[in-house]
């Protein structure tokens, strides 16, 4: 990130942190004094943040408060932490039986990221980067999401191709990937044989909320030398059962708050 962009982000975060329970509404002059910034700088940042829904301006008082987008992001973050807390016991049982790294990933826009993992105890094992954005079109977890997304969204993400390869095994032709996704829907699980990371094999299944929407993916990853395609298939029923149990256990936690009140 360029220095000027980083400075703008840091200042925007500092502005958000100016608000508190005691001071939920602030004016430009007050924020400028708190941060030691020029009022023109604060005004420019507030205008930009208001355009993104991070800040809201009261028309009558010309003062500012936190915006609606933060409510949405906070609720999303809370649900993801609930998801991780509820999933962990089931993930641990999968880990005990599979002997390989067990992962939990969530969709973030047109990407996905790992929310948690339980690492294998093997000397040679797979670990994942928690919180790192990853392409949704490759890897077992990504395909577990993509296979059950709206076809219009899939078309938009895949485009006319070819897709950017992460390894020599990445499926870059949209037509071939669509065939793969059809197989995922048929079998209920997705496999990756080195598609995202060379030498790493993985299997993942979708995790659904009470409406049937895929909200996460739980997977098993390991070295290709140990976790062959046949061994991946053998572990598929274990993952499918685990995903069903997780969905039944905490599907309510993934509801929109408005719907949760009427469930």
Question: In CATH, which of 3.90.330.10, 1.10.10.10, 2.60.40.1220, 3.90.1150.10 is domain 3-67?
Answer: 1.10.10.10
Q: What's the CA gap between 192 and 233, in Å, rounded? A: 11
pLDDT at 249: 66
What average pLDDT score do residues 158-186 get? 94
Contact 228, 235 (CB under 8 A): no
- Superfamily name and number for 75-257: GAF domain (3.30.450.40)
* pTM for this prediction: 0.69
Of the ranges 82-96, 113-127, 223-237, which one carries the lowest mean pLDDT score?
Answer: 82-96
Average pLDDT, the chain: 86
SS (H, E, C) the chain: CCHHHHHHHHHHHHHHHHCCCCCCCECHHHHHHHHCCCHHHHHHHHHHHHHCCCEEECCCCCCEEECHHHHHHHHHHHHHHHHHHHHHHHHHHHHHHHCCEEEEEEEECCEEEEEEEECCCCCCCCCCCECCCEECCCCHHHHHHHCCCCHHHHHHHHCCCCCCCCCCCCCCCHHHHHHHHHHHHHHCCEEEECCCCCCEEEEEEEEECCCCCEEEEEEEEEECCCCCHHHHHHHHHHHHHHHHHHHHHHHHHHCCHHHHCCC
Q: pLDDT class for 156, splitting at 50, 70, 90?
A: very high
Cβ atoms of 146 and 136 within 8 Å: the answer is yes
Task: Summarize pLDDT for 193-247 with one digit per residue, the tens.
Answer: 999 999 999 999 998 877 778 889 999 999 999 999 999 999 999 999 998 888 7
Q: d(Cα 159, Cα 162) in Å, to the nearest integer?
A: 8
Round to whole Å and give the CA distance between 81 and 216.
Answer: 12
| Residue from 178, 194, 184, 207 nearest 82 by CA | 207
d(CA 154, CA 39): 45
- 104-113, 151-160, 245-254 — which is least confidently predicted? 245-254
Question: Averaged over 157-179, what is the pLDDT?
Answer: 94
Domain ranges of the chain: 3-67, 75-257
Query: Band of the pLDDT at 248, cuts 50, 70, 90?
Result: confident
């Amino acid at each position: 990130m360029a220095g000027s962009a980083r400075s703008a982000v840091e200042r925007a975060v500092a502005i958000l942190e100016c608000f508190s329970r005691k001071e939920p509404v602030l004016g430009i002059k007050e924020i400028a004094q708190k941060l030691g910034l020029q009022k023109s700088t604060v005004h420019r940042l507030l205008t930009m943040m208001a355009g993104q829904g991070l800040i809201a301006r009261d028309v009558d008082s010309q003062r500012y408060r936190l915006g609606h987008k933060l409510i949405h992001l906070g609720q999303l973050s809370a649900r993801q932490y609930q998801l991780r807390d509820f999933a962990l016991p089931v993930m641990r049982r999968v880990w005990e039986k599979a002997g390989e790294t067990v992962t939990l990933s969530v969709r973030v826009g047109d990407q996905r990221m790992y929310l948690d993992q339980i690492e294998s105890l093997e000397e040679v094992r797979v670990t994942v980067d928690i919180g790192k954005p990853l392409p949704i079109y490759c890897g077992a977890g990504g395909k577990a999401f993509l296979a059950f997304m709206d076809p219009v969204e899939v078309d938009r993400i895949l485009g006319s191709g070819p897709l950017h390869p992460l390894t020599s095994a990445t499926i870059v032709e949209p037509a071939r990937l669509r065939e793969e996704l059809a197989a995922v829907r048929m079998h209920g699980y997705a496999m990756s044989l080195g598609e995202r990371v060379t030498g790493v094999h993985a299997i993942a299944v979708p995790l659904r909320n009470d409406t049937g929407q895929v909200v996460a993916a739980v997977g098993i990853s390991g070295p290709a030398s140990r976790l062959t395609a046949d061994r991946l298939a053998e572990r598929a029923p274990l993952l499918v059962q685990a995903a069903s149990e997780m969905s039944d256990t905490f599907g309510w936690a993934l509801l929109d708050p408005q719907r949760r009140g009427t469930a």
